Structure 1
Amino acid sequence: QDYLMLCAVDEAEEMVDGGKKDAIDDLKEGELEAFVSSLGLRKYAQSCLVVEGEEEGGGGSEGKEKPPKKEKSKKETSAPSLEGKKEKKVKEKASGVKDSKKKQAGSDQDQHISAKKERVEENFEFRARQVILIKPGGKWYELEYTDEFSSEPQNQMLLSKYKALAQKLYQHETELYKNKTDYQKGASSAWMKTVVSSGTLADRMAAMTLLIQDSAVHSLQFVENLVNLVKKKGSRHQSLMALDTFKELLISDLLPENRKLRSFSQRPFNNIEKISSGNRDSRDRRLILWYFEHHLKLQVAEFVQALEALSHDSLTATKSRALAVSHELLCNKPEQEKVLLVQLVNKLGDPQNKIATKASYLLETLLNKHPNMKVVVCSEVERLLYRSNINVKTQYYAICFLNQIVLSHEESALANKLITLYFCFFWNCIKKKDVESKMLSALLCGVNRAYPYAETGDEKVKEQMDTLFKVLHLVNFGTGVQALMLLFQVMDSQQTVSDRYYAALYK
């Protein structure tokens, strides 16, 4: 029946790789052969081998008719020699099978490795789609897959291959989105894109904001445009307008609430195929989102550098605006917080008193909003105080900021740290015989405020007790009152207010 069926096949059409020519468009030359070899059927071929001698012996005895009686004696005499020949044949074939098994095992391994390589190469092959993978609308950081990350170091070769694939996927995705919005009936996006390139400054900013809010993932070019406008020199008005626009976008649409942006290398590429369950669409969505977030992180870093440049502008208004933007980002989002904090603290040393005072005020409001940042902010201010090229005025502004920090009894470690810092500078002032400066008053004010919350404050003050009594007779009235307040706090806590203290007080 099989033979008859095959005879009936129309052989007029040319056959290629098991199918009619031009019938399957996406089948490449030799692809079917590679697929069959990757199935590993050769491993099981050995168990199906049949020895011909056994078949002949087994089948012949059953299938043939009994010989006539006359030939019986002849058969009996020739039977032993026939059996010997068959046994010899079987042994030869068995040894041949063993050799062929070894050869086939080696060839199977080679084919398996080559098939595996082909599969890996297929994984990194870019395939263009006709529909977009990331649907517009909503916040991009609330989409699935954006929270996946890995703290383990990733395979660098794997990382570079996935990055190249992600770049192609992202470019294709943005092109698809652009074509879709361009040809959409009744869409205003084409008009908005015209405004972005040739409208007035205010209209350009508004159009870019709307396009980014519609779909941030597909609008990375407009993010880059805004950052470039902030960095562009020559027009302060344009820079400041772009600055405010981009700041609002970062807070409302682009930056996640409770985490920093992650770079491409912080993703779990070692098991991406496992977590996407072999689904190519799922994997490609991940790659597009991760690639977008990586480049958004780079753009935010560039924006923060542009802020730093604006904070050194010659105009006070520009510096003040840059400072306010740094403070607002620091208060609302965790991205680039270390760099922004350093910018704010460094402004305590600004040559213009107005800017230094504003920096101090902004740091104070930051601590009111985020009290857990006290230790981090104090450490950064301490680093500024001990810098080698720092001037006395900057140190004074920094000490004035520190002595305004509101402490609690749970923050005894911070209070101890501050008292040590104050007395270090107090001793420097005494050494320099700079006792009539405002610095001494600020230092003593700081000690007075930190003393009730410190655990080891007594020893620190006792070491300086004699010095404080001597200083009382040299300093101005305000500083003298601060010193007396400190001495009274220490002595009263131990109920040892001495005659020396009262003599100094009445004098």
Structure 2
Amino acid sequence: MAAKNKHRKKSKKTNEVTFQAEDNEPEAENGGGGEEDEDLGGGEGQGKANGDDEEFSLEEVLRLGGTRADFVFLAGLNDTQELVDGGKKGAIDDLEEGELQQFITKLGIQAYSGQQIVTDEPESSAAAAAAAGGEKESKKAKAKKVSAEEQSTSAQPKVSEQKKTEQKTTKDVQVSAKKKIKLNTNVFEFQQRQVLLIKPGGKWFELEYSAEGSSELQDSSLVSQYKTLAEQLFEAEVNIYKSKKSLQKGANSTWMKTVVSSGVLADRMAAMTVLIQDAPVHMLEHVENLVSMVKKKGSRRMGLMAMDTLRELLLSSLLPENRKLRTFAQHPFDELEEKASGNRDARDRRLILWYFEHQLKHHVAEFVVALDSMAHDTVAATKAKALATAHELLCSRPEQEKALLIQVVNKLGDPEYKTAAKASYLLETLLHKHPNMKVVVCCEVERLMFRPNISPKAQYYAICFLSQVMLSHDETELATKLITVYFSFFRACVKKKDIESKMLSALLSGVNRAYPYASAVDDKVKEQLDTLFKVVHLVKFNTAVQALMLLFQVMDSQQSVSDRYYVTLYRKLLDPGLSSSSRQNMFLNLLYKSLKADVALRRVKAFVKRLLQVSAEQNASFACGALFLVSEVMKSKPGLKILLQEEKEGEEEEFKDLAEVNEDGDDEEERFVDADKLEEGASTETQEAKPTASWVHHQNLEGGRTLQSYDPLHRNPLFCGADHSTLWELQRVRHNKQTH
């Protein structure tokens, strides 16, 4: 009984200790409970309590007011072990310095710190909750600490596997965070500044960020928001610059303000030029004023001065040389925040420059429209000035080149001869400076020629320009296209029976220039051969020369120069228009090429004799050219020198290179073969059958063979008997030139 009472007293005292721990939680957490147990747990009674399950059970703890956690805690106590920080010494390994922080880093919790939102709780509520928990929460915390320590040992092998996944997740979070920045409404918020973002002076297109552009399609809503912000930034930037200028003291600043507002016209232009050159971004309003002066009607002098001033400014300070101006939407807004790297000044500086470039492009377009209006002025000098300005801008800068090219090409159809001729000259100058623009310019001229309301005069000037375009063997497509255009107008002229006009001559000249560089056009030319032969006999001498040159080019390229061509050329030597022609040199050149390509020596002799006969009646320059031509042909064909031999008296002339009379003496009808098949010194063999077609007139065949005398009026040079005569024409030419 005494032992039992003693045990009950001990249990009661233990229970009191437990309740004391619940009432004073901080002491239990700080080790106070451990000290109390150490004082009361010693002795024999405590060992019995731990060893006897009947005396110390869960029911008894619950009866005394404890909990299941209290029973677990008391059951785990061992009087022989020292309690440290509310637990058994050695039960949990002591943490080294920095070990807990390293473990948290491996878990990657910090990567998600930006996404979690923890609401702040008042300190009083947190303290009350901590006090209400009491000893029960402290014991649970100890149990969780033990379980966390056990789980950490098993989680360490998985950390390396989770590390890659955590890094990838971190990157995704960062990318999504950047995207959220773009959609943040604070990005488009305007902030007023007191300093300039763009420094005055220099050329604006040489500043940083001005060359950034994008060919990709941008989001329209994003561009619209940035444009609104850019407009506000630009206006604020201009106002800051004006306020700083107004505060400056000095005669120069005051003079500028006075002159721009109320000075004479020349001084106003000079002042605006200086202001724009000093700060083009901040003085854009003066560019707009100059454009308005050009557009204003009623003051031609002011418009011309403003046009000259604006042209100089565009070429010297406002337009870049190697690129066109970009619109506001042609910039990388999808990468703007990333390029700025969060620096608002760098971003706003970009927006100001891009907005300025957009406005400048708009003003330049208006200026080009105003130039077109001035080009239609009733005063010829004004039209010439506007045309020259458009041409200079077109040659020097790529901005608005399409509109400027259309303006210059349209002036080919101007009613005044001088303006149309100047437009043609300016287009030729443009192609000399920029040869790569040949295709573009020729296509625009072709578009002008085929307009329904275009005048024949404008078409003629367009053909004249196209015929002067210099081509190369690398431009076969362009040459072929030009020949197609020429022949389409050629057929139209023939159909209208308008063959006496200058148009036909210009067309033939163009075909002659383009034919050597074209490809696959022989069929088109062959279709027009018969028409060309007819044209030669109907048109003036100059046009006929162009047609003959084209015929020779086509036939010579195919190595099939026909007898029909030589008959036509032989006849043109007697054309009355030769003496007054401006293309005598071209005709002599054509003669030289034709005679050099001819294989029939007796036909060449006929040409030489007729040429010298004609030279006796022409001027000295033509006669000299003819003599030089004959000498060059004799060098290439030595058989012609027999024409220089004198006739023997009393004897019949004998020429070894000519065909002899048949021994039979029978007068047989002369047979003709193609001249290309004849060789020098070869005799003509008789043929059994007569050719079905020939350009030798049948009346000339009367009498059988060629007579032994020379007939200067014979139609065909092959059968005129020139090989039975000498060059007595040389004496005639010499006599005529001596008398003159």
Of 512, 518, 521, 1:454 maps to 518
> Do structure 1's residue 83 and structure 2's residue 84 form an aligned pair?
no
The CA deviation string for residues 412-470 of structure 1, in whole angstroms up to 9 with x for no partner, is 11111111110111111111121111111100000001111112233322221111112
Rounded to whole Å, the distance in 2 between the matches of 1:117 and 1:145 is: 21
Instruction: Give me the whole-angstrom Cα distance separating, in 1, the residues matched to 2:504 and 2:397.
Output: 37
The answer for the alignment partner of 2:331 in structure 1 is: 267
Q: In structure 1, what is the equivalent of residue 294 of structure 2?
A: 230
Paired residues, what number? 435
Matched, 1:205 2:269: yes
Aligned mates of 1:146, 1:292 — CA distance in 2:
10
Render the CA deviation track for 1:211-238: whole Å, top value 9, x for unaligned.
0000101100100111111111111000
Q: 1:225 to 1:118 in 2, by over 3 A?
A: closer
Over 3 Å counting, the alpha-carbon distance change for 1:470 and 1:61 in structure 2 is same
Matches within 5 A, 1:17-56: none
8 Å Cα contact 1:349-1:356 kept in structure 2? yes
**What amino acid sits opposite 1:194 in the alignment?**
T
Structure 2 counterpart of 1:145, one-letter code? Y
Question: 8 Å contact 2:231–2:355 — kept in the other structure?
Answer: yes
Change (3 A) 1:281 1:117: closer
Partner residue in 2 for 1:217: 281
1:286 aligns with 2:271: no
Distance 1:82 1:211, change over 3 A: same
1:277 aligns with 2:262: no
Larger radius of gyration: 2
Contact 1:408 1:453 in 2 (8 A): yes
The residue number in structure 2 matching 1:484 is 548
- Give the residue type in structure 2 aligned to 1:280: R
CA 1:376–1:60 in 2, change beyond 3 Å: closer, same or farther? same
Report if aligned partners of 2:182, 2:337 keep a CA contact under 8 Å in 1: no
Q: In the alignment, which residue of structure 2 is the partner of 1:315?
A: 379
Counterpart Cα distance in 2 of 1:119 and 1:336? 36
Question: How big is each residue's C-alpha offset from its partner over 1:287-318, in whole Å with a ceiling of 9 and x where there is no partner?
Answer: 00001000000000000000011011111111
Aligned-residue offset at 1:192? 0.5
Question: Contact 1:262 / 1:293 at 8 angstroms: preserved in 2?
Answer: yes
Where does 1:372-411 land on structure 2 (aligned, <5 Å)? 372-411=436-475
CA distance in 2, matches of 1:108, 1:400: 81
3-state SS of paired residue (2:329): helix
After superposition, the C-alpha distances for 1:344-402 in whole angstroms (9 at most, x for unaligned) are 11111111111111111111111011111000000000111111111111110100000
Q: Distance in 2 between matches of 1:170 and 1:152?
A: 25
**Would the aligned equivalents of 2:61 and 2:71 in 1 still touch at CA under 8 Å?**
no
SS at structure 1 position matched to 2:427: helix
The answer as to whether partners of 1:181 and 1:190 remain within 8 angstroms in 2 is no
Aligned to 2:615: none
Give the distance between the partners of 1:221 and 1:444, measured in 2 at CA: 54
Please tell me whether residue 498 in structure 1 is matched to residue 535 in structure 2: no
Q: Which amino acid is 1:361 matched to?
A: Y
Alignment correspondent of 1:445: 509
Q: Residue by residue, what CA displacement relative to the aligned partner does 1:227-251 show, whole Å, maximum 9, x if unpaired? A: 1111111110000000000001000
Shift of 1:118: 11
Partner residue, 1:428: 492
Considering only aligned residues, what root-mean-square deviation do their CA atoms show, in Å?
Answer: 2.8
Q: CA deviation at 1:62?
A: 8.2
**Change in 2 beyond 3 A, CA 1:82/1:206:** same
TM-score when scaled to structure 1?
Answer: 0.81
Whether the 8 Å CA contact 1:181–1:187 is kept in 2: the answer is no
AA aligned opposite 1:422: Y
Is the contact made by 1:196 and 1:204 (CA closer than 8 Å) also made in structure 2? Answer: yes
Q: Per the alignment, in what secondary structure is the counterpart of residue 475 of structure 2?
A: helix
Match of 2:406, as an amino acid?
V
Unaligned runs of 5+ in 1: 1-51, 88-104
Give the letter aligned to residue 219 of structure 1: M
Mapped pair 1:371 → 2:413: no
Q: Specify every segment of 5 or more residues in structure 2 that has no aligned partner in the other structure, as ranges.
A: 1-21, 50-54, 73-113, 119-175, 572-740
Q: Distance in 2 between matches of 1:361 and 1:399?
A: 13
Question: For 1:254-287, what per-residue CA distance to the aligned partner results, in whole angstroms no more than 9, with x for missing partners?
Answer: 0001000000011111120001111000000000
Q: Percent of aligned pairs with the same residue?
A: 64
Q: In the superposition, relative to structure 1, how do residues 60 and 310 fare at CA in structure 2: closer, same or farther (>3 Å)?
A: same
Please say if 1:244 is aligned against 2:308.
yes
> Residue type matched to 1:359 in 2?
A
Greater helix fraction, Structure 1 or Structure 2: 1
Q: Structure 2: how far apart are the matches of 1:362 and 1:502? A: 41
Q: Please tell me the residue identity of whatever aligns with 1:265.
A: A
| Secondary structure in structure 1 of the residue aligned to 2:468 | coil
Is the contact made by 2:466 and 2:510 (CA closer than 8 Å) also made in structure 1? yes
Alignment of 1:186-197 (within 5 A): 186=250, 188-197=252-261
Specify which structure has the bigger relative contact order, considering alpha-carbon pairs within 8 angstroms and separated by 6 or more residues. Answer: 1
Change (3 A) 1:474 1:355: same
Query: Which deviates more, 248-257 or 465-474?
Result: 465-474
Secondary structure in structure 2 of the residue aligned to 1:258: coil
